[in-house]
């Protein structure tokens, strides 16, 4: 890790060859697994974003006469116990995953962990201690039980607030689109997600702080802000990228888990957690394994792709020991 | 060494404060949130006056801060963790927790052992074969396991091994039992009940351990003394086992503590789906039935464990990268 | 290098100490039971059945204190271990338990006093004993009833069931130290005075809150007596391992006849009940809707062991009549007519759950309710909606159906119903999943427009549904229904002493309520079980009553 920092600084110093990012990208694309992973993610996110266009049926359309069927021409991936088309449900659920991962990463994954990590590492002293101790508190709280309680406490108020907005601004369908749920979930996930990343970034910053490069900049009178933005930030960006792609998988997994428990996305908003929950009775899936396999494979592939990508990025952005 | 000691001490001194913050947050969320154990056990009985009376009897009508003070006094001065209300009414909290803790520990230990037993050799092997297809392939295989959420993996394992092949039980926690302090604990670790949870918990962890091992092994492989050993003509095996392994494995020790605790907390789904009486499931039960004292006791326990694990990890970081200093610096 | 080694050693040592400390703490704890017991090794799941022993699957009780129990799981054990003055027999008839006979007006046991109160006089059986062989006397009964309403006991239900007794409410509120309406005449005679004539008072005494507990035991061991309680019931508690099992053994001195099954073992853990039954680990098993298809198939050997019976419970959707749009009766009726319950019962419930044709579940002895619940008629539904104040689906406000649950989705039944409303009425209803912990109090506060709920009857009398849930000022009236015509009928029925006439009055009231539709009745309940052929006389009563003593086991 420390080596990575020195190397990239030197690399930066050695311009004007193509930027390290572009180099890294080229190396990345040479890895077949990484390309496959990127492809899978693009397909998944594409299906999610264009769900209304791509899904043959709606998420909730029932047909009690055709329940629990296996794959057929009408229903490529079969139907569930209320006759709903599995393929469509998967596509709509993908959309939820897209929204939640994007939102959570942008807030907790990037803004919070990078911001607090930089602040903590660079400023040191009391600020550092404060941030790190607060992080300890969040780290020590058992996530899932707390999220259940937080959800129970906050959800009614968030829904109320959403309805207030609906009534006063005339915008319809805020609540039914699932917006309050998304808000709660990614807010809650961010609360607990920032600690790990912040710590890693902080230790990186601590190491960087002592380099001659930064010392020199300080000696030359560069303000703290400038140092942070132009010297520290680019050097932690590698870690950030790797961290983000790795945590995407974890975040998707957390959302599914929370929804499965009933404290995440609420019905009728689609979610993989709901699909998997429908398939958690062993005897039901014994008779109809596609109920579990369809969402299971979809989710597994996505998270696997995220993890592969994260691994590949790690390799590419962190030069090996020579 | 001096710096480390003072650092550790300083962190330990913070621990009680953090614990206080953690318990206070948990306490407040439970008290301020909707629902309480009395209304949970009452179900459809609606008798608001009776509720108020029983709540007052249990001291739940006092202001939250006062309740918190009373709770702290009970726990730290008298060692009284309270009693359950909505799980087993009147039974002391510790009595409910410790048998389940032992069950979870059994699962955690086995999962840990398997994860390390698989992860370390795989990581070392991958490092040695760096550059060939074996390297990414081996790690990726385990990455696949890490990618499948427990929610999917456990029912899937049950489907294959219990329902289709009938090799394993569908759930539950069997095994020879041991009598401890008046309760019988089933040693599921010695029975078939352990297989699915052990697999579900250990396989995802293998990837992380393998990666870490690979990274540290790679770092060590580049060191001079390894080259020297090779130059001396020692067999690959000797080089690996005697020189590489020892140094590559050191950082892993830091992961043990955290892994155990994460496993304990993360076995939620496995326990719920399989019907295993561990603390993951207990935590969920406690939260949904708002059994305040049980929730707080679990938060306290897990909190202590996490805080300690945290400190150990931060200490370990100093060994991995000696340039990280934990002494105070003034802000510029 | 040395630093590293030292550091690692330190870390490992810390871990070992931590884990070790936890273990030591655990083992050293709490030795009031078997101190330093020899670690024994017994194979639990493999124990073969002994003769005269019945093995059942059981749910975890929350408590075994009859004054505190509110859930069916606890009640199932309590009714076997404890007893009260009267009880219900296998046909749900009121029969004496600790009392020698049922007091009636004919035998002088019930006296109407000039001030409007009614006094019941109970003569206790001289041969009734506690499990420690101490005879039961009238003082014990008074003590138990007073303990139940005593605020220090902390019961949420005692007042509901015992409040008819004079002075019970005062004691519950801490205004008195005893219940003035209970008088000990002599060791074997007790009189209870209630504040006004009440046809169902004796039924309320069959509920656990009125059961008799052992005063000496409770007072000498207030914290732990429920672990091995001395009751007066047909079975004694032999052993309770929290979360694992409960073992009951027959009370040979039981005054109504010693049970034939000498030992009953309840397995509280263990995974799939059906698997346990197939492995011969238990002798009776409940069958869930997921497995029922297999069992109903005549070619499956288990089909021969299948037993099904009525359960006095109803699954319904309640409508809050004070809140739009359900303040308009036409809207309520429209929603009721738009549900194809037959279809749901057939497809989702596999045809094993009966559609509710009224409010009072089938199976209440002697009661014939109206069979005129609103049928599925989508045309009529749309018409009614058009005739309502909203004139059609477009003007309807947002409607939410609330249901309590612990998982990712509301049940398939609710999902199907919402779809039916969409299809047949053109109305989009939202689902809201509420936590069990807050659901009931939210309904109570009138927070929901419609809610999906169930009701299990406490005793086999239509009053428990029609009056308790629909009388305008009843606390349990969660749809806030208020109809003076219905109220008048109910008040009349309360004072009516002729059973036949009473039932007619309830039937009339029920019909009016059904037409007004504060509830959309959905399904009644049935029990589905498997019983091993060597188990005889094991009944599945529609409500929780003592039943183990009727069973016997061959070989």
Q: How far apart are CA B78 and CA B80, in angstroms?
A: 5
Per DSSP, the three-state class of A275 is: helix
Q: List chain B residues with CB under 8 Å of C16.
A: none
pLDDT tops 60 at residue B1: no
Please check whether residues C216 and C236 belong to one and the same domain.
no
Exposed, middle or buried by CB within 10 Å (0-12, 13-18, 19+), for A72?
Answer: exposed
Q: For residue C5, what pLDDT is reported?
A: 47
Q: List chain C residues with CB under 8 Å of B99.
A: 242-243
Q: For residue B241, what pLDDT is reported?
A: 67
For B2, the closest chain C residue by CA position comes to C3
- Domain with C24 in it: 2-63+230-310+527-553
Q: How far apart are CA C45 and CA C276, in angstroms?
A: 9
Q: How far apart are CA B19 and CA A136, in angstroms?
A: 9
- Going by pLDDT thresholds of 50, 70 and 90, the confidence category of residue C183 is very high
Q: For residue C29, what pLDDT is reported?
A: 39
CA distance A193 to chain C (A): 23
Quick check: is C174 in a domain? yes
Q: Give tens-digit pLDDT for A35-66.
A: 888 888 888 888 888 888 878 887 777 777 77
pLDDT, averaged across chain A: 77
CA distance B179 to chain A (A): 30
CB–CB of C331/C385 below 8 Å? Answer: yes
User: What beta strand segments (E) does C413-449 contain?
Assistant: 429-434
CATH for C541 = 3.40.190.10
CB–CB of C551/C250 below 8 Å? Answer: no
Q: C407, A81: Cβ pair inside 8 Å?
A: no
Q: Give tens-digit pLDDT for B26-39.
A: 888 888 877 788 88
Q: List chain A residues with CB under 8 Å of B18.
A: 133, 136-137, 140
Least confident of A192-201, C353-362, C453-462, C493-502: A192-201
Paired with C319 in beta bridges are C450
- Going by pLDDT thresholds of 50, 70 and 90, the confidence category of residue C27 is very low
Q: C272, A282: Cβ pair inside 8 Å?
A: yes
Q: Spell out the long-range contacts of A60-67 with Cβ–Cβ below 8 A and sequence spacing 24 or more.
A: A60/A84, A60/A268, A60/C415, A60/C419, A61/A85, A61/A88, A62/C415, A62/C416, A62/C419, A64/C343, A64/C344, A64/C347, A64/C348, A64/C416, A67/C347
CA distance A260 to chain C (A): 5
pLDDT tops 70 at residue C544: yes
Least confident of B299-308, C59-68, C532-541: B299-308
Quick check: is C127 in a domain? yes
For A223, the closest chain B residue by CA position comes to B332
CB–CB of C54/C264 below 8 Å? Answer: yes
pTM: 0.81
Name the residue with tokens 């888990």: A257
Tell me which residue of B95, B118, B106 sits closest to B174, measured CA to CA: B106
A133 shares contact with chain B (CB less than 8 Å): yes
Radius of gyration for the alpha carbons in chain C, expressed in angstroms and rounded: 27
Q: For residue A155, what pLDDT is reported?
A: 78
Mean pLDDT, range A286-309, rounded to an integer: 88
- Which strands, in side-by-side order, build the sheet including C450-456? C235-241, C245-250, C263-267, C53-57, C284-286, C519-531, C306-319, C450-456, C399-404, C429-434
Q: List chain C residues with CB under 8 Å of A277.
A: 407-409
B181 shares contact with chain C (CB less than 8 Å): yes
Q: How far apart are CA C352 and CA C317, in angstroms?
A: 20
B312 shares contact with chain C (CB less than 8 Å): yes
Per DSSP, the three-state class of C520 is: strand
Q: How far apart are CA B279 and CA B302, in angstroms?
A: 10
**Minimal Cβ distance to A203: which of B171, B295, B324:** B324
pLDDT tops 70 at residue A149: yes
Q: List chain A residues with CB under 8 Å of C407.
A: 260-262, 277
pLDDT tops 80 at residue A144: no
CATH for C217 = 3.90.76.10
Q: B34, A156: Cβ pair inside 8 Å?
A: yes
For chain A, list the contacting chains (3+ Cβ pairs, <8 Å): B, C
For A273, the closest chain C residue by CA position comes to C408
> What proportions of chain A, in percent to the nearest 5, are helix, strand and coil?
75, 0, 25
Q: How far apart are CA B291 and CA B93, in angstroms?
A: 10
Per DSSP, the three-state class of C227 is: helix
Q: Give tens-digit pLDDT for B116-158.
A: 888 888 888 888 887 777 777 887 888 888 888 888 888 888 8
**Minimal Cβ distance to A149: which of B33, B151, B211:** B33
Q: For residue A318, what pLDDT is reported?
A: 66
**Minimal Cβ distance to A218: which of B34, B171, B332:** B332
Q: Give tens-digit pLDDT for C354-383.
A: 888 888 888 787 788 776 778 888 899 989
Tell me which residue of B102, B68, B80 sits closest to B282, measured CA to CA: B102
Q: C43, B319: Cβ pair inside 8 Å?
A: no
B119 shares contact with chain C (CB less than 8 Å): no
pLDDT tops 60 at residue C456: yes
Q: For residue C28, what pLDDT is reported?
A: 40
Least confident of A195-204, C227-236, C239-248: A195-204
The DSSP letter of residue C99 is B
Q: For residue A321, what pLDDT is reported?
A: 36
Q: For residue B332, what pLDDT is reported?
A: 32
Please check whether residues C99 and C113 belong to one and the same domain.
yes
Side-chain half-sphere of C163: how many Cα atoms within 13 Å?
13
The percent of residues in chain C predicted with pLDDT above 90, rounded, is 36
**Minimal Cβ distance to C408: which of A67, A152, A277:** A277
CA distance B67 to chain C (A): 19
Q: C408, A259: Cβ pair inside 8 Å?
A: yes
The percent of residues in chain B predicted with pLDDT above 70, rounded, is 83
Mean pLDDT, range C500-506, rounded to an integer: 90
Quick check: is C354 in a domain? no
The percent of residues in chain A predicted with pLDDT above 70, rounded, is 87
User: Which of B15, B29, B50 would best serve as a mutation to test chain C binding (most C beta carbons within 10 A)?
Assistant: B50
Quick check: is C120 in a domain? yes
Q: For residue C80, what pLDDT is reported?
A: 95
Exposed, middle or buried by CB within 10 Å (0-12, 13-18, 19+), for C330?
Answer: middle
User: Which of A144, A262, A279, A286 would best serve as a mutation to test chain C binding (most C beta carbons within 10 A)?
Assistant: A262
- Going by pLDDT thresholds of 50, 70 and 90, the confidence category of residue C214 is very high
pLDDT, averaged across chain C: 84
DSSP H helices, B222-244, are: 224-231, 236-238
Kindly give, in sequence order, each residue whose CB lies less than 8 Å from that of residue C150, ignoring residues fewer than 6 positions away.
C171, C172
- Going by pLDDT thresholds of 50, 70 and 90, the confidence category of residue B255 is low
CA distance A259 to chain C (A): 5
Please check whether residues C277 and C253 belong to one and the same domain.
yes
Q: A64, C405: Cβ pair inside 8 Å?
A: no
- Going by pLDDT thresholds of 50, 70 and 90, the confidence category of residue B279 is confident
Architecture of domain B97-320: Orthogonal Bundle (1.10)
Quick check: is C178 in a domain? yes
- Going by pLDDT thresholds of 50, 70 and 90, the confidence category of residue C316 is very high
Q: Give tens-digit pLDDT for A83-113.
A: 888 888 899 889 888 888 888 877 766 778 8
For C291, the closest chain A residue by CA position comes to A283
Q: List chain B residues with CB under 8 Å of A271.
A: none
**Minimal Cβ distance to B95: which of C30, C43, C455:** C30
CB–CB of B151/A260 below 8 Å? Answer: yes
Q: B33, A308: Cβ pair inside 8 Å?
A: no
**Domain assignments of chain A as residue spans, ordered by start:** 32-60+74-321
Q: Count how many domains chain C has.
A: 2
Q: B173, C173: Cβ pair inside 8 Å?
A: no
Quick check: is C102 in a domain? yes
pLDDT tops 80 at residue B257: no
Q: B316, C44: Cβ pair inside 8 Å?
A: no
Q: How far is CA C519 from the centre of its chain?
A: 21
pLDDT tops 60 at residue C43: no
pLDDT tops 70 at residue C270: no
**Minimal Cβ distance to B46: which of C37, C40, C476:** C476
Q: List chain C residues with CB under 8 Å of B289.
A: 436-437
Q: How far apart are CA A47 and CA A34, in angstroms?
A: 20
Q: A267, C433: Cβ pair inside 8 Å?
A: yes
CA distance A319 to chain C (A): 25
CATH 1.10.3720.10 fits A32-60+74-321, yes or no: yes
Pairing of strands C53-57, C263-267: parallel
CA distance C454 to chain A (A): 20
Q: How far apart are CA B170 and CA A283, in angstroms?
A: 10
Q: A141, B33: Cβ pair inside 8 Å?
A: no
Q: List chain A residues with CB under 8 Å of B317.
A: 203
Mean pLDDT, range C218-222, rounded to an integer: 90
Q: For residue A19, what pLDDT is reported?
A: 66
Q: C243, B288: Cβ pair inside 8 Å?
A: no
Please check whether residues C220 and C270 belong to one and the same domain.
no
Tell me which residue of B268, A60, B148, A168 sits closest to C430, measured CA to CA: A60
Q: Give tens-digit pLDDT for B47-101.
A: 777 888 888 888 888 888 888 999 988 888 888 888 888 888 888 898 889 888 8
Quick check: is C303 in a domain? yes
DSSP A93-158: HHHHHHHHHHHHIIIIIIIIHHHHHHHHHHH-HHHHHHHHHHHHHHHHS-HHHHHHHHHHHHHHHH
Q: C416, A278: Cβ pair inside 8 Å?
A: no
For chain B, list the contacting chains (3+ Cβ pairs, <8 Å): A, C
State the count of interchain CB pairs (< 8 A) between A and B.
173
pLDDT tops 90 at residue A204: no
Q: Give tens-digit pLDDT for C100-149.
A: 999 998 888 899 999 989 999 999 999 999 999 999 999 999 999 999 99
Q: For residue B252, what pLDDT is reported?
A: 66
For B301, the closest chain C residue by CA position comes to C22
Q: Is B290 left (phi over 0), alpha (psi -120 to 50) or beta?
A: left
**Domain assignments of chain B as residue spans, ordered by start:** 2-76, 97-320
B27: its two tokens: 């306490």
**Minimal Cβ distance to B307: which of A140, A203, A249:** A140
Q: List chain A residues with CB under 8 Å of C408.
A: 259-262, 264, 267, 271, 273-274, 276-278
Kindly give, in sequence order, each residue whose CB lies less than 8 Å from that of residue B200, ignoring residues fewer than 6 positions away.
B150, B153, B154, B157, B270
């Amino acid at each position: 890790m420390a080596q990575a920092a020195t190397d990239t600084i030197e690399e930066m110093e050695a311009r004007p060859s193509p930027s390290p990012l572009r180099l890294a990208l080229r190396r990345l694309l040479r890895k077949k697994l990484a390309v496959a992973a990127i492809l899978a993610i693009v397909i998944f996110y594409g299906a999610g974003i264009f769900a209304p266009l791509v899904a043959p049926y709606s998420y909730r359309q029932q047909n009690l006469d055709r329940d629990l069927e296996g794959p057929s021409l009408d229903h490529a991936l079969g139907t569930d116990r209320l006759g709903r088309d599995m393929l469509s449900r998967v596509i709509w659920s993908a959309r939820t995953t897209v929204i939640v991962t994007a939102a959570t990463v942008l807030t907790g994954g990037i803004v919070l962990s990078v911001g607090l990590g930089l602040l903590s590492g660079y400023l040191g002293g009391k600020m550092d201690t404060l941030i790190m101790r607060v992080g300890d508190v969040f780290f020590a709280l058992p996530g899932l039980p707390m999220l259940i309680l937080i959800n129970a406490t906050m959800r009614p108020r968030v829904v109320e607030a959403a309805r207030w907005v609906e009534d006063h601004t005339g915008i319809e369908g805020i609540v039914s689109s699932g917006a309050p749920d998304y808000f709660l979930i990614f807010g809650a996930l961010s609360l607990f997600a920032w600690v790990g990343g912040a710590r890693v970034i902080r230790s990186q910053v601590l190491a960087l702080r002592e380099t001659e490069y930064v010392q020199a900049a300080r000696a030359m009178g560069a303000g703290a802000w400038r140092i942070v933005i132009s010297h520290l930030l680019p050097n932690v960006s590698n870690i950030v990228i790797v961290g983000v792609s790795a945590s995407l998988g974890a975040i998707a997994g957390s959302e599914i888990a929370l929804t499965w428990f009933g404290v995440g996305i609420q019905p009728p908003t689609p979610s993989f957690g709901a699909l998997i929950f429908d398939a958690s009775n062993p005897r039901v899936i014994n008779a109809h394994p596609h109920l579990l396999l369809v969402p299971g494979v979809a989710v597994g592939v996505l998270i696997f792709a995220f993890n592969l990508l994260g691994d590949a990025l790690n390799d590419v952005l962190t030069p090996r020991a020579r | 060494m001096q710096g480390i000691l003072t650092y550790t001490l300083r962190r330990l001194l913070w621990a009680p404060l953090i614990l206080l913050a953690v318990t206070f947050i948990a306490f407040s969320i439970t008290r301020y949130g909707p629902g309480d154990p009395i209304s949970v056990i009452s179900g459809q009985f609606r008798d608001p006056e009776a509720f108020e009376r029983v709540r007052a009897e249990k001291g739940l009508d006092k202001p939250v801060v006062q309740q918190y003070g009373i709770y702290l006094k009970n726990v730290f001065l008298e060692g009284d963790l309270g009693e359950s209300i909505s799980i087993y009414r009147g039974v002391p909290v510790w009595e409910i927790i410790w048998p389940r803790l032992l069950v979870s520990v059994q699962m955690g230990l086995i999962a840990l052992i398997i994860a390390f037993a698989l992860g370390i050799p795989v990581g070392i092997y991958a490092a040695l074969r760096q550059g060939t297809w074996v390297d990414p392939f081996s790690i990726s295989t385990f990455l696949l396991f890490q990618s499948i959420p427990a929610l999917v993996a456990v029912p899937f394992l049950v489907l294959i091994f219990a329902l289709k092949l009938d090799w394993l039980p569908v759930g539950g926690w069997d095994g020879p039992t041991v009598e401890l302090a008046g309760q019988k604990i089933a040693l599921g670790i010695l029975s078939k009940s352990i297989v699915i949870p052990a697999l579900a918990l250990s396989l995802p962890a293998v990837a992380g351990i393998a990666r870490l091992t690979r990274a540290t092994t790679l770092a060590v492989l580049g060191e001079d003394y390894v080259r020297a050993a090779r130059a001396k003509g020692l067999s690959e095996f000797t080089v690996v086992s005697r020189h590489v392994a020892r140094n590559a494995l050191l950082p892993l020790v830091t992961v043990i503590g955290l892994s155990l605790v994460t496993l304990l907390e993360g076995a939620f789904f496995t326990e719920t789906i399989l019907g295993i009486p561990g603390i993951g499931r207990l935590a969920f039960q406690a939260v949904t039935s708002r059994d305040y004292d049980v929730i707080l006791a679990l938060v306290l326990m897990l909190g202590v464990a996490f805080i300690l694990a945290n400190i150990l990890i931060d200490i370990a970081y100093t060994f991995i990268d000696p340039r990280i200093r934990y002494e105070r610096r003034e802000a510029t | 290098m040395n630093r590293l080694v030292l550091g690692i050693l330190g870390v490992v040592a810390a871990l070992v100490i931590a884990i070790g400390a936890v273990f030591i703490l655990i083992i050293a704890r709490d030795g009031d039971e078997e101190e330093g017991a020899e670690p024994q090794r017994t194979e639990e799941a493999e124990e073969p059945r002994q003769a005269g022993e019945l093995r059942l699957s059981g749910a975890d009780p929350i408590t075994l204190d009859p004054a505190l129990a509110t859930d069916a799981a606890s009640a199932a054990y309590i009714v076997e271990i404890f007893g009260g003055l009267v009880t219900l027999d296998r046909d749900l008839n009121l029969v004496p338990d600790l009392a020698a006979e049922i007091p009636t007006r004919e035998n002088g046991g019930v006296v109407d006093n000039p001030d409007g109160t009614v006094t019941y006089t109970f003569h206790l059986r001289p041969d009734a004993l506690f499990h420690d062989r101490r005879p039961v006397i009238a003082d014990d009964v008074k003590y138990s009833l007073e303990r139940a309403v005593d605020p220090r006991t902390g019961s949420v239900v005692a007042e509901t069931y015992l409040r008819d007794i004079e002075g019970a409410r005062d004691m519950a509120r801490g205004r008195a130290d005893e219940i003035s309406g209970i008088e000990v005449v002599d060791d074997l005679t007790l009189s209870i005075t209630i504040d006004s004539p009440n046809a169902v008072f004796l039924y309320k005494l069959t509920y656990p809150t009125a059961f008799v507990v052992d005063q000496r035991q409770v007072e000498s061991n207030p914290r732990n007596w429920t672990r091995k309680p001395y009751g007066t019931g047909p079975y004694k508690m032999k052993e309770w391992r929290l979360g694992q099992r409960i073992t009951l053994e027959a009370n040979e001195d039981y005054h109504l006849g010693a049970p034939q099954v000498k030992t009953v073992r309840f397995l509280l853990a263990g995974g799939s009940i059906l698997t346990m039954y197939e492995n011969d680990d238990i002798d009776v098993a409940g069958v869930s809707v997921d497995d029922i298809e297999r069992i109903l198939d005549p070619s499956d050997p288990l089909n021969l062991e299948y037993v099904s019976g009525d359960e006095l419970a109803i699954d319904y959707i309640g409508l809050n009549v004070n809140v739009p749009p359900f303040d308009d009766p036409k809207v309520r009726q429209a929603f009721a007519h738009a549900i194809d319950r037959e279809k749901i019962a057939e497809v989702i419930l596999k045809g094993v759950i009966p559609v509710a044709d009224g409010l009072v579940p089938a199976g209440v002895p002697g009661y014939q309710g109206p069979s005129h619940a609103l049928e599925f008629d989508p045309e009529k539904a749309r018409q009614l909606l058009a005739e309502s104040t909203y004139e059609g689906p477009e003007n309807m406000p947002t409607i939410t159906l609330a249901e309590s649950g612990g998982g990712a989705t509301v049940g398939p039944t609710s999902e199907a119903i919402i779809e039916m409303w969409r299809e047949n009425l053109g109305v989009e209803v939202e689902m809201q999943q509420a936590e069990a912990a807050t659901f009931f109090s939210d309904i109570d506060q009138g927070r929901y427009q419609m809610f999906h709920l169930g009701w299990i009857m406490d005793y086999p009398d239509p009053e428990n549904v029609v009056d308790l849930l629909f009388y305008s000022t009843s606390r349990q009236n969660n749809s806030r229904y208020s109809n003076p015509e219905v109220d008048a009928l109910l008040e009349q029925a309360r004072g009516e002493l002729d059973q036949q006439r009473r039932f007619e009055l309830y039937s009339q009231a029920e019909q009016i309520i059904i037409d007004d539709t504060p509830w959309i009745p959905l399904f009644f309940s049935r029990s589905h079980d498997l019983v091993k052929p060597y188990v005889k006389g094991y009944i599945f009563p529609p409500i929780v009553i003592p039943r183990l003593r009727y069973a016997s086991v061959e070989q």
